[in-house]
Structure 1
Amino acid sequence: MSKNMLVLKTSDGESFEVEEAVALQSQTIAHMIEDDCADNGIPLANVTSKILPKVIEYCKKHADGESSTEEELKTWDKKFVDIDNSTIFDLILAANYLNIPGLLDLTCQTIADQIAACKDADEIRAKYGIENDFTPEEEETVRNENQWAFE
């Protein structure tokens, strides 16, 4: 029995052939199929050829999730997001565009956990390359207005 295959076209022109069951993890792709927009390949304007294989890897694992226990999936997910932040941010954008709630939740939670592990705003700024655009006086004013958060 052959499986239905779809062609996904990335924003940088690459094409990837995937099983329909895997692609249907994306609600965006599911809607395109429903609207008969999948005949000549499905264009993914906001997903690059660097990120789509990671998205497909996640979707494959979760499409046949019945073959894995919940604990095995959690362990797999944890390893899956053990990657550089640049890739995680690209996955967040792709998961949001493709409307893959599980992947979006996983990647956003990963960043949230990293931020929560930071001791202060300076550490967060250093970790994510964020420039502090407050003057020392403005920063002091904000700290005083939000003193309850620093207790």
Structure 2
Amino acid sequence: MARSSTENMITLMSSDGEEFMVTEKVARECTTIRNMLEDDCVITNIPLPNVTSDILSMVIEYCKEHVAAAEKAAAETAEKGSSSAPAAAKANKDLEEWDKAFMNVDVYTLCDLILAANYLNVSGLLDLTIQTAANLIKGKSPEQIRKTFHIQNDLSLEEEEKIRSQTPWAFEESE
């Protein structure tokens, strides 16, 4: 049977052995962990072999911020009733600004966050990180994208010319 208390503490262990204590409510922001808890696969100690401590701390920070924002919005709605639309809009704008600041990371961290958000199934964080990566790519040439993401071109000149002739639209300069 699933536990409903939000006061339970869960220990998340990163791939490098660091332990993070979080509330069950924060841990449940990760669908992967929520499923483990609901299926009674774990009680309080969850190893996360695919997430380093640096990235896990960022995922936890994201989850805490979004849980706090949801709780604040729910409290304001309960307090003010249906007339809280301006407050909800401001809270949403504040959270969007926080998300934008949170994504001010280097591309290596961004890629690690994408992988962690996917592994832990944190849909909001996955959407945010993928959109950030898409914004880094938008309007750039393949060479610029390689430079941005530190990707070495492993194509021969002949292979590159063949690809350019087969997909000329992909190499058009955007305005």
Partner of 1:129: 150
Aligned length: 150
- Please tell me the root mean square deviation across aligned C-alpha atoms, in Å: 1.9
Q: Highest CA radius of gyration, 1 or 2?
A: 2
| Structure 1 residue matching 2:16: 3-state secondary structure | coil
CA distance in 1 between counterparts of 2:14 and 2:169 reads: 47
Q: Normalising to structure 2: TM-score of the pair?
A: 0.79
Partner of 1:112: 134
Q: Give 4+ residue runs of structure 1 displaced > 3 Å after superposition.
A: 148-151
Identity %: 51
CA distance in 2 between counterparts of 1:109 and 1:92 reads: 10
CA distance in 1 between counterparts of 2:139 and 2:66 reads: 28
Ranges in structure 1 where 5+ consecutive residues have no aligned partner: none
- Establish whether residue 23 from structure 1 lines up as the match of residue 45 from structure 2: no
Contact 1:6 1:38 in 2 (8 A): no
Contact 1:10 1:45 in 2 (8 A): yes
Report how far residue 3 of structure 1 moved.
1.9
Ranges in structure 2 where 5+ consecutive residues have no aligned partner: 1-5, 74-90
Once the two structures are superposed, the pairs formed by residues 1-151 of structure 1 within 5 Å of their partners are 3-66=7-70, 67=72, 69-118=91-140, 120-151=141-172
Higher helix share: 2
